[in-house]
Each structure stands twice: as structure tokens, then as C-alpha cells.
Amino acid sequence: MVNLLELSGNRIRLRHTDGRIALDTDEKLFQITDYLAGTHTAPSRTATFTNPGATQTPINIDLDTTLGAINAHADTIVGVFKVTTSDTRPGLQNKGWFNAGGTYVYGLDSISSAASAGSVREYVSGTRAFTFFAQGGFLKINERSVAVSQPRFTSPVTVTSTWPAITFDYRLYAGSFV
Amino acid sequence: MTEQAKLSPDLIMLGADKFRTDRRYMRAATAGAYFPIVKGKSLSVLYYSGTIYPACQIRYAVNGYNRQMTATDGGNGAVLSNTFAADFTLTRTE
């Protein structure tokens, strides 16, 4: 028979009848300090390539935006969010809810280019990613956006590559393991 | 009246069923973790200005599971040093 209550020194352990531990005072439990719900819109970002002159104007954005105040000890964000956008390309935007933990990758972009040696190269030219996080008593969202436009050298032209505006609808818990 | 606490041979209950030993509670693991919960970023994106064209390099790194681009610009670009590793808490419910 399992002893459900175990006391030893400054430690308390409570068990289920199968022996597994339900509570161990030597281990931390996740404590929710705040619930935040709202919306946040990340604006459209556009990179350009202009010829003549072969001028690249890429975007390289690493931006934190404060969404609200939370407990100063909160360091973990869990919950859900969904994304709406006018972007009509195939993807998961406008389709349900995502887990808010870690980094959400909205999209990867690639361009191909005729290099000077004449070969065609394809590589990741752009990334757009967002992360909800807790910092110093505030819930924040980080936008990491990189984009490069497709080079064309054949005639005077300006080519653009755009990450569209997107809106987050979030329902989040902030807290920490205490 | 709601029962606030119970101590029996097969169940310990506290706070009107808020805590019961027959349930599972996610806790930070001192051993035998099931999975990590990331505190912030799980992905790092570095911008590479490039010798031919700009590009970016990404690295995912959580709890020792790392995936990172090893080439840029068709292999001609330099691989940037990226030691990013996510901050996380190892958890278990048992």
C-alpha cells in the first residue's frame, strides 16, 4: 500500500495510489500571475531592388513591442494566438489557433539569382518570425523580419518583396515556476 | 457545504478539489523531465549582408535539439557564428 503523504525534513510529497507524485515541495509548480488577451498588428515590411545602380534596400528588423504589464517575476508565456492577414499565399495564416510558446515562424522566403559565374542559386532570403515573451514586468512580442528583393539587371526597374501586415489575436497566461 | 479537505487511504484532497493526488500537475522537473517549456525565442535569425546578395541564416535550438543552416547563397556565403540556445524549463507531470 502506498503512503500518500510523505514528510521528511522540510520536504512534503503527496502521491497517488499508484505511487506517482502529485506534489513535491522540492519541485517548482507553474504559477499563473496574469492573463492577457488582445490584438497586435505588425505592419507591412517591404524590401526593394532598384536598377540601374543595382541598389539593394533589404529589411532587417528586430523589434520588441510591449503589449501590457504583468507580474515582474513572470518569465514564461503560454497560451494561444491566431493570425489574420490579407496574405493570400498558401500557408497557415487565417487558419485556427497556434501555441504561443517559443517562436512562431510566419514565413520563409527564397529568391534565385543568376550569379556572376552564370549558375543559378537559390537560398533563404527572408524570414518573418514572432515571439511572445515576458521581460521586466511586461508582456512583449518580438518581430524578427528579414527580406531581400529579387535582383534583376536587365532593364531599369524597381522590384519589391513584401511581408504583409498581420494581426495577432492572443489569449495568453504569464507566470513562472515557483 | 463543499468539502474543503480530505485525507483518506486512497486520496488527499485540498481546497475543494483544487488539488487532488489522483490528478497530475505540471512541475519543473529535478529529474526525468518529459519536455521543455521555452521562455522566449526558440529560433534565432541572423542577417547576412553577403558578398553577392543579402540573405538570412536561421538556427533553432531547444534543449540540445539544434537545427541550423550550414550554407548561405548557394554555398558561397559565409556561415555566421550563431550560438543561440533557447531559455527553457524542463517539466514533467509523472
Q: What is the pLDDT of residues B16-67, one digit of tens each?
A: 999 999 999 999 998 899 999 999 999 999 888 765 667 788 899 999 999 9
Gap between the Cα atoms of A106 and A108, Å rounded = 7
Q: Which residues of B touch A24 (CB under 8 A)?
A: 27, 30
The pLDDT score that the predictor gives to residue A176 is 96
Query: Is A129 in CB contact (< 8 Å) with chain B?
Result: yes
Instruction: Say which DSSP state A48 is in.
Output: E
CA angle, B26 then B29 then B32, to 5°: 110
Are residues A124 and B74, on separate chains, in Cβ contact within 8 Å? no
Please give the radius of gyration of chain B, using alpha carbons only, rounded to the nearest integer. Answer: 23
Gap between the Cα atoms of A3 and A129, Å rounded = 49
User: What residues are paired with A32 via a beta bridge?
Assistant: A175
- A30 compared with A148, residue with greater pLDDT: A30
Q: What residues 75-94 of chain A have any CB closer than 8 A to a CB of chain B? A: 75-78
- Positive or negative: CA dihedral A176, A178, B4, B6: positive
Closest CA to B47 of A59, A31, A138, A102: A59
ipTM: 0.86
Tell me: the pLDDT tens digits for A115-139?
444 555 567 788 999 999 999 999 9
Tell me: the pLDDT tens digits for A75-109?
999 999 999 998 887 777 788 899 999 999 998 88
Q: Which residues of A touch B32 (CB under 8 A)?
A: none
Query: Is B13 in CB contact (< 8 Å) with chain A?
Result: no
Are residues B10 and A101, on separate chains, in Cβ contact within 8 Å? no
Q: Is A3 helix (H, G, I), strand (E, B) or coil?
A: coil
The arithmetic mean of pLDDT across residues A151-171, rounded, is 85
Q: In what order do the strands lie in the sheet with B35-38?
A: B27-28, B88-92, B35-38
Q: How many CB atoms lie within 10 A of CB A145?
A: 24
Q: Which residues of A touch B26 (CB under 8 A)?
A: 29-30
Are residues B20 and A22, on separate chains, in Cβ contact within 8 Å? yes
Closest CA to A132 of A92, A88, A87, A80: A80
Element holding B2 (H helix, E strand): none
- Looking at the complex, report in whole angstroms how far the Cα of residue A124 sits from the nearest Cα belonging to chain B: 6
Element holding A174 (H helix, E strand): strand A166-177
The pLDDT score that the predictor gives to residue A115 is 45
A26 Cβ neighbours under 8 A, 6+ residues apart? A11, B30
Gap between the Cα atoms of A159 and B65, Å rounded = 38
